[in-house]
Amino acid sequence: MTAINYSEKIPNNVNLSEDRTLQRALEHWQPNYLQWWNDMGPEGSQNFDVYLRTAVSVDPQGWAQFGHTKMPDYRWGIFLNPAEQDRKIHFGDNLGQDVWQDVPGEHRANLRRIIVTQGDTEPASVEQQRHLGLTAPSQYDLRNLFQVNVEEGRHLWAMVYLLHKYFGRDGREEAEALLERNSGNADNPRILQAFNEKTPDWLSFFMFTYFTDRDGKFQLCALAESAFDPLARTTKFMLTEEAHHMFVGESGVGRVIQRTVDAMNQLKTDDVAKLRAAGVIDLPTLQRYINFHFSVTIDLFGADQSSNAATFYSSGLKGRYEEGKRTDDHVLKGNTYKVLEVQNGQLIEKEVPMLNALNEVLRDDYITDSKGGVDRWNRIIEKAGIPFKLTVPHKAFHRNIGALAGVKVSTDGRVLSDSEWNTNVNAWLPTEQDRAYVASLMGRVVEPGKFANWIAPPVMGVNRQPVDLEYIRFN
Amino acid sequence: MSATAELFNQHLIDPEICIRCNTCEATCPVGAITHDSRNYVVLADKCNFCMACVPPCPTGSIDNWRMQAKSSPYTVEEQLSWDELPAALTDNELSAVASAGNGESAEQALAFVSPSQDNEALAQVKALVSASVGSTVPPWSAAHPFTNLYGPKEPITATVVGNVQVNDAGTDNETHHIVLDFANLPFPVLEGQSIGILPPGSDEQGRTHHARQYSVASPRNGERPGYNNLSLTVKRVIEDHSGNPVKGVASNYLCDLKLGDKVQVIGPFGHSFLMPNHPKSNIVMICTGTGSAPMRAMTEWRRRQRNSGKFEGGKLMLFFGARTQKELPYFGPLQKLPKDFIDINFAFSREQAQPKRYVQDFMRERAIDLAELLKEANTYIYVCGLKSMEEGAILALRDVVTEHGINWETLSQNLKKEGRLHLETY
């Protein structure tokens, strides 16, 4: 790989060509990355020309360059948002001091753990989605999947850059390990359980990009407040790409709903069997998928009370969502926050020190944001004149982490006995039959401008291109 | 009077497609985008159409425009309440809106549409607004611009090294030539680019003032050649578009600056309104008032090139409108330029004892020479100044071209595609 000109091959705004140590580290890592991409990236698609967006700089004109390119040739770059002059730490015990341009020794282990955990999710989702290309409902959707994949790959680069640049040998070892763990691998799984689950079908993919990539957004937002300036600047730029992923989810589910309500109006029925016979995904099934993905995703925010969360905050490693826009003292020593727990068969709210409840704070911000999109889906249903409302389930529903782990709670927040739960669970979570039905709809549609029967076309194409553009050249 | 003087193309976000990802708000260099828990919306009085938000938007919802009365744009509150975009106004609604215009703007407007022709003319003009004919690409020989080097969060500080009035003292439109120096910090600009000025202090709501945009009036190598400085042409705003007394925040701040004062600057902005740099390229410049700033910059760069003896420029033709000769900025210096270097046409709309004349009148008068230039593929056209002048200038161009047997449709498409017609109006 000596022929590669790294300053050209890797678009960057970190003066890569002037940092020999870093360049050598990346020279060593890059072939392993490409090998991983070939082994674990989108299956059977490496030779396609895909209409991709590539960032070549961080200014508005530079970061959305569109063109057909083969995915292994995608220019995975390293971008940090421009430095803010004299930026100060704006929360925690070091409030008001200069931000760190290097890793302070006492926070080294925690920062490395945060970066590795974030970095691990990026290749994990590429692995989870690697078979989806075989059942894409259209070229447009296939292109969006690949865009999400290459950008998750770029986010891995962003984290690996930090590990290589600031963490010396441990960092390089962690960067290798990011390529060695694999989603769902029994011997060497990904760190977070949600990233070891399969993404078996496109409805799951859309739900995943809506709900789980939104968790990514909130984690990145919290890290974008960090006192470790390179981490803050890296994650800020990643957020611009994360927006596309949530768009794929929100518009994808929206288009499924659109197709379903159109069919309901055509057939003048809300009968699930008739709608399934017509090949569309009924609204109750969509609701069950929402319940599943929402509950699995809010687990990702961690335990409701966590001393780690308090440490990360007080030491300035990780802020709250939109920390800079909040008006409290940003130290939070005397503040409290309400978390849920079960007492005597009832869910009750308990006041706890806010510092320990910061995972819960982030989770609640996430829940508010998620509900917004579900409301927008409801407008599609409303517009079609159909009396049905999608909702997100209660925060305590189907939880596996924290004080609520394993407690049986209904979607509307009632604590249940095991038998009540067992009676109703099939109405709340996708059943084997639901998943089998959705799987049966998955067939590959690749003719430009054509869409699978279960999903409506988008209102516009990518980058203001027509919907029937040849987004993929299969060669 | 013009029915169109009151209309503008309002920038809106489609709430049905938008996913509220905040990318546009984070990208906007002038803080023109805001949101509540329901919608993301564009502040009509802040958006400067720089388009920085358009490519990063993941959904395309950002790219929506509605013709609307300038005096009554969709307010932020209205936009925040939307579940979908309102239907575009019909021609009848638009002309009703337009004819509610008032005296002062009619004065500033151009006399090419009579009220009885409103609908037809309106349709014509709508087809001709900047979005449809103006280039979004630069000339092929443009120099590569730097943009967005400094944003509102980390502006650059410039020092005032010059501030003189450049039209006659005592006129209503007091206009200043202000020189800003950047010392050792990089702030590379090209002719036709603009910069943002952050006025100190805050507005009535206690928010810090947003940036005001000004075109650079000096050439790329500095107001003084070889120095890291640039100049602006700033009119002291003392009344609004309706003639009501109002003190312009940034313009009064700038016009009152003393030598040595520090100014917060953001930018540079603009990547298409740039001059051609190849030999024998012609430049047609059409402007009013402070719209002369980019024209001064381009003219001065060509003048310096010519004096170097190493560059063979093409023809320069300038149509420059003001109310009176006394108000016209740079009148004296312009008079001194050699006739074989630049062909200057002044149009004065309020000179005593003379008929009103607007730039488009002069363009029609000079139709033969203008048409000669327009036939050449080497001719680049720049329009800068009041919005009301833009439509008049384009209609005049169309008529001149058509009279000389050139197909306007084809020509205007080529002009747009080849980066040869650039509009910057406000």
Mean pLDDT across chain B, nearest whole number?
A: 84
Which of A84, A459, A464 lies nearest to residue B154, judging by beta carbons? A84
Q: What is the pLDDT of residue A8?
A: 62
Which of B19, B27, B63 lies nearest to residue A250, judging by beta carbons? B19
Tokens of A167: 């963490």
* Confidence bin at A7 (pLDDT 50/70/90): low
* Confidence bin at A24 (pLDDT 50/70/90): confident
Give the residue-averaged pLDDT of A136-153: 96
Domain boundaries, chain B: 7-104, 156-269, 282-425
Which chain A residues are Cβ-neighbours of B63 within 8 angstroms?
464
Angle at CA of residue B97, ends B95 and B98, nearest 5°: 60
Least confident among A2-16, A322-336, A448-462, B258-272: A2-16
Beta strands in B328-418 (DSSP E): 343-348, 379-385
Q: How far is CA B267 from CA B34, B154, B197, in A?
A: 20, 10, 9
Asked if B21's CB is within 8 angstroms of A61's CB, the reply is no
What is the spatial distance between Cα B381 and Cα B272, in angstroms, rounded to a whole number?
A: 12
Helix (H) or strand (E) holding B75: none
Q: What is the pLDDT of residue B104?
A: 33
Strand pairing category for B316-322 and B343-348: parallel
Contact B21/A at CB under 8 A: yes
Q: Which CATH class is domain B282-425?
A: alpha beta
Tell me how many helices (H) and strands (E) chain B has.
13, 15
Q: How far apart are the first and last CA of chain B?
A: 19
Q: Which CATH class is domain B7-104?
A: alpha beta
Strand pairing category for B64-69 and B194-198: unpaired
* pLDDT, tens digit, 9 for 90 and up, residues A341-365: 999 889 999 999 999 999 999 999 9
CB atoms within 10 A of CB B194: 20
Please state whether the peptide bond connecting residue B268 to the residue before it is cis, i.e. omega within 30 degrees of 0: yes
Q: Which CATH class is domain A82-447?
A: mainly alpha
Top pLDDT among A135 and B95 is at: A135
Which chain A residues are Cβ-neighbours of B185 within 8 angstroms?
none
Q: How far is CA B323 from CA A125, A432, B109, B284, in A?
A: 65, 78, 12, 21
Q: What is the pLDDT of residue B134?
A: 83
Which of B58, B147, B151 lies nearest to residue A247, judging by beta carbons? B58
Catalytic residue set of B: 214-215, 384, 424, 426
Instruction: Report whether pLDDT(B83) > 50.
Output: yes
For residue B230, the distance in angstroms to the closest alpha carbon of chain A comes to 23
For residue A247, the distance in angstroms to the closest alpha carbon of chain B comes to 6
Instruction: Report whether pLDDT(B1) > 50.
Output: no
B58-77 residues touching A, CB cutoff 8 A: 58-60, 63
Instruction: Report whether pLDDT(B116) > 60.
Output: no
- Contact status, residue A202 vs residue A135, Cβ threshold 8 Å: yes
Instruction: Report whether pLDDT(B93) > 80.
Output: no
Give the residue-averaged pLDDT of A388-417: 95
* Confidence bin at A94 (pLDDT 50/70/90): very high
Instruction: Report whether pLDDT(B35) > 70.
Output: yes
Domain boundaries, chain A: 82-447
Q: What is the pLDDT of residue B120?
A: 42
B251-290 residues touching A, CB cutoff 8 A: 271
Q: How far is CA A58 from CA A123, A326, A452, B22, in A?
A: 23, 27, 36, 16
Instruction: Report whether pLDDT(B293) > 70.
Output: yes
Asked if A368's CB is within 8 angstroms of B56's CB, the reply is no
- ipTM, interface predicted TM-score of the complex: 0.77
In A224-322, alpha helices (H)? 229-267, 272-277, 283-299, 307-314
For residue B337, the distance in angstroms to the closest alpha carbon of chain A comes to 38
Asked if A251's CB is within 8 angstroms of B59's CB, the reply is yes
Q: What is the DSSP string of A156-216?
A: HHHHHHHHHHHSHHHHHHHHHHHHH--TT-SSS--SSGGGGS---SHHHHHHIIIIIHHHH
Mean pLDDT across chain A, nearest whole number?
A: 93
Nearest CA in chain A to B27: A60
* pLDDT, tens digit, 9 for 90 and up, residues B148-207: 888 888 899 999 999 998 888 777 788 999 999 999 999 999 999 999 999 998 877 777
CB atoms within 10 A of CB A72: 13
What is the spatial distance between Cα A9 and Cα A43, in angstroms, rounded to a whole number?
A: 24
Instruction: Report whether pLDDT(B127) > 50.
Output: no
Asked if B83's CB is within 8 angstroms of A60's CB, the reply is no
Instruction: Report whether pLDDT(B5) > 80.
Output: no
* Confidence bin at A114 (pLDDT 50/70/90): very high
In the 8-state DSSP scheme, what is residue A272? H
* pLDDT, tens digit, 9 for 90 and up, residues A228-279: 999 999 999 899 889 999 999 999 999 999 999 999 999 999 999 999 999 9
Least confident among B40-44, B294-298, B322-326: B322-326
In A14-91, alpha helices (H)? 20-40
Q: How far is CA B326 from CA A454, A466, B190, in A?
A: 70, 53, 29
Helix (H, G, I), strand (E, B) or coil at B176: strand
Asked if B55's CB is within 8 angstroms of A64's CB, the reply is yes
The predicted model scores a pTM of: 0.67
For residue A218, the distance in angstroms to the closest alpha carbon of chain B comes to 11
Give the residue-averaged pLDDT of B355-367: 88
Nearest CA in chain A to B37: A372
* pLDDT more than 70, % of chain A: 98
Give the residue-averaged pLDDT of A133-143: 96
Tokens of B316: 């320069």
Q: What is the pLDDT of residue B414?
A: 92
* pLDDT more than 90, % of chain B: 43
What is the spatial distance between Cα B415 and Cα B380, in angstroms, rounded to a whole number?
A: 8
Which chain A residues are Cβ-neighbours of B148 within 8 angstroms?
59-60
A419-423, B104-108, B289-293: which is most confident: A419-423
What is the spatial distance between Cα B274 and Cα B341, in angstroms, rounded to a whole number?
A: 20
Tokens of B99: 């004819």
CATH number belonging to domain B156-269:
2.40.30.10
For residue A11, the distance in angstroms to the closest alpha carbon of chain B comes to 18
Q: What are phi and psi of B332, to 5 degrees?
A: -60, -60
**A220: CB partners within 8 A, 6+ apart:** A118, A235, A238, A239, A242
